[in-house]
Amino acid sequence: MRRATIAYRLLAGLAAAGIAGPAFAQACVQPAERSAFEIRALQSQLMVTALTCSRDADYNAFVTKFRRELGSAYSSIETHFRRTGGGNFARARDGFITQLANDHSQDGLRQGTAFCPNAVALFQVALAQSDMNSLATLASDRNILNPMAAPACPERATPARIRPAATTRAAAQAR
């Protein structure tokens, strides 16, 4: 019952903030941003697991070990929402983070008593990672819930190398 109470409080708090829901921008996502969204999804899953399953020490170890990587991921997410949300970027960013926490809380509620046994092992796997790339890969491979479903941004076409007009003797003779 305690786990359910914590989850309900988390959801109520997020809903009370008035920013829940998928109102955040879903414009295209750059590759570095995609990794950042994956890392943030992993962090959110671990946060909900810590709150629900009384694993504060595990979450604190994760945050301490990956403080720099988590900060970098947050900065990339902020960059995405500045690029796509204009003047409302903070609201869009906060809406995304709220939606992420709500999704993970709801998933925990759906799993019921199986949630903690299923989720706690993720701490060990996450703590065994070494960098941003491995954290993003872990989140992707484990299919961690992530409401950022925007497509990848198209690659920018690199203009073909422009050759200068034929001014050499050989080119002049070829005319």
Average pLDDT over residues 155-163: 50
C-alpha distances out from residue 159 to 156, 162, 163, Å: 9, 8, 12
The single-letter DSSP state of residue 87 is: G
Average pLDDT over residues 142-147: 89
Q: Which residues pair with 152 in a beta bridge?
A: 29
Q: Mind listing the pLDDT tens digit for each residue in 93-138? A: 898 899 999 999 999 999 999 999 989 999 999 999 999 999 999 9
Q: Mind listing the pLDDT tens digit for each residue in 72-96? A: 999 999 999 998 887 888 898 898 8
Contacts of 101 (CB under 8 A, 6+ apart): 10, 14, 44, 47, 48
* pLDDT at residue 158 greater than cutoff 50: no
Per-residue pLDDT at 89: 87
* pLDDT at residue 12 greater than cutoff 60: no
Domain ranges of the chain: 2-155
Per-residue pLDDT at 20: 36
